[in-house]
């Protein structure tokens, strides 16, 4: 099931993409009185999601032709900052160390966690604000993000799948010189307009767990990143287990699992973004977001 936030006739709403992909069914017309994706996540249990899925399969005459809606980020305004993993693919760890001229011993014994500010997530086909008055080294990072479906506390790895609502694609846009200058990454990754997201949330019933999906990015059509989420150093069960030992992961929490090698800083010379560049981030089984730098 694909869950979307969309705009139609100047109104924002939450819907489900029809199984054929040709329509968007407003959840209210399926019998679920939710105005936002945050409300839907808070209000639906596992049984509720099953009911929504069955209603979407049955369809409704109130379906809107897909081409008539404007897709927004599936969670336009998250309730909390996004939790992110840094250098969670070995090849990216190597290129990151090379860019920073640091030695890399080939081991990642512990996960690196940080948070990313999202005032409002960028639409899946919206524009990325480059902030070129303060940024010179603008970079992209295609990532698989998961959405927690119910509060998770002290979860065992074997039970982690039951706490995931679904997955989406994000671009963890980064200002490298700010990220490096301030040591911690919050400022350099949290500027306004630095989180394109979408095109929807694909629920877990659509994909195997843990997902092993091809992940790619292209800049102006040139393939930059090309990997598979199977290569995560710390996988989703580990992430949920470890974090939930001391942090209650609330329903609606977004966790970005890290980016593979091929980001701009990893090239020699680096290939940073400029005005007019189009970045396409694609994850198998989920979809593609395309965003132009302004």
pLDDT of the residue at 251: 97
282: enclosing H helix or E strand: strand 278-283
What are the tens digits of pLDDT across the range 99-123? 776 766 667 789 999 999 999 999 9
With a pLDDT cut of 70, the percent of the chain lying above it is 97
pLDDT of residue 89: 92
pLDDT reported for residue 183: 86
User: What's the pLDDT at 101?
Assistant: 67
| Structure confidence at residue 103 (pLDDT) | 62
Mean pLDDT, all residues of the chain: 95
* Pairing of β 127-128 and β 112-116: unpaired
Digit-coded pLDDT (tens) for 224-279: 999 999 999 999 999 999 999 999 999 999 999 999 999 999 999 999 999 999 99
Average pLDDT on 208-223 reads 98
Q: Is the peptide bond before 210 cis (omega within 30 degrees of 0)?
A: yes
Cβ within 8 Å of residue 201, ≥6 positions away: 2, 3, 4, 37, 74, 75, 147, 165, 166, 167, 168
For residue 226, give Cα distances in angstroms to 84, 127, 141, 202, 218.
20, 23, 12, 21, 9
Q: Would you place residue 8 in the very low, low, confident or very high pLDDT band (cuts 50, 70, 90)?
A: very high
Q: Is the pLDDT reported for residue 27 higher than 70?
A: yes
pLDDT band, residue 286 (cuts 50/70/90): very high
- The pTM of the full predicted model, rounded to 2 decimals, is 0.95
Q: What is the pLDDT of residues 142-200, one digit of tens each?
A: 999 999 999 999 999 999 999 999 999 999 999 999 999 998 999 999 999 999 999 99
């Amino acid at each position: 099931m694909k869950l979307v936030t969309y705009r139609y006739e100047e109104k924002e709403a939450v819907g489900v993409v029809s199984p054929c992909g040709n329509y968007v069914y407003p959840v209210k017309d399926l019998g679920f009185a939710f105005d936002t994706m945050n409300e839907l996540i808070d209000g639906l249990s596992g049984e509720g999601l099953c009911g929504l899925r069955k209603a979407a399969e049955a369809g409704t005459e109130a379906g809107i032709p897909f081409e008539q809606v404007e897709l927004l980020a599936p969670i336009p305004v998250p309730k909390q900052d996004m939790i992110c993993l840094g250098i969670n693919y070995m090849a990216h760890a190597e290129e990151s160390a090379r860019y920073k001229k640091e030695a890399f011993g080939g081991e990642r014994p512990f996960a690196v966690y940080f948070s990313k500010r999202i005032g409002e997530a960028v639409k899946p086909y919206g524009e990325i604000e480059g902030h070129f008055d303060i940024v010179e080294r603008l970079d992209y990072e295609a990532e698989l993000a998961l959405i927690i479906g119910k509060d998770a506390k002290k979860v065992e790895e074997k039970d982690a799948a039951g706490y995931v609502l679904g997955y989406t694609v994000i671009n963890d846009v980064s200002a490298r010189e700010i990220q490096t200058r301030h040591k911690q990454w919050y400022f350099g990754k949290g500027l306004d307009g630095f989180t394109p997201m979408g095109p929807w949330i694909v629920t877990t019933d659509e994909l195997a767990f843990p997902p092993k999906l091809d992940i790619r990015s292209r800049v102006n059509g040139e393939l930059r990143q090309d990997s598979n989420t199977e290569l995560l150093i710390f996988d989703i069960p580990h992430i949920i287990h470890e974090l939930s030992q001391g942090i209650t992961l609330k329903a609606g929490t977004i966790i970005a699992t890290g980016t593979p090698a091929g980001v701009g800083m990893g090239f020699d010379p680096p290939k940073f973004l400029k005005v007019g560049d189009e970045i396409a981030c694609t994850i198998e089984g989920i979809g593609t977001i395309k965003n132009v730098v302004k």
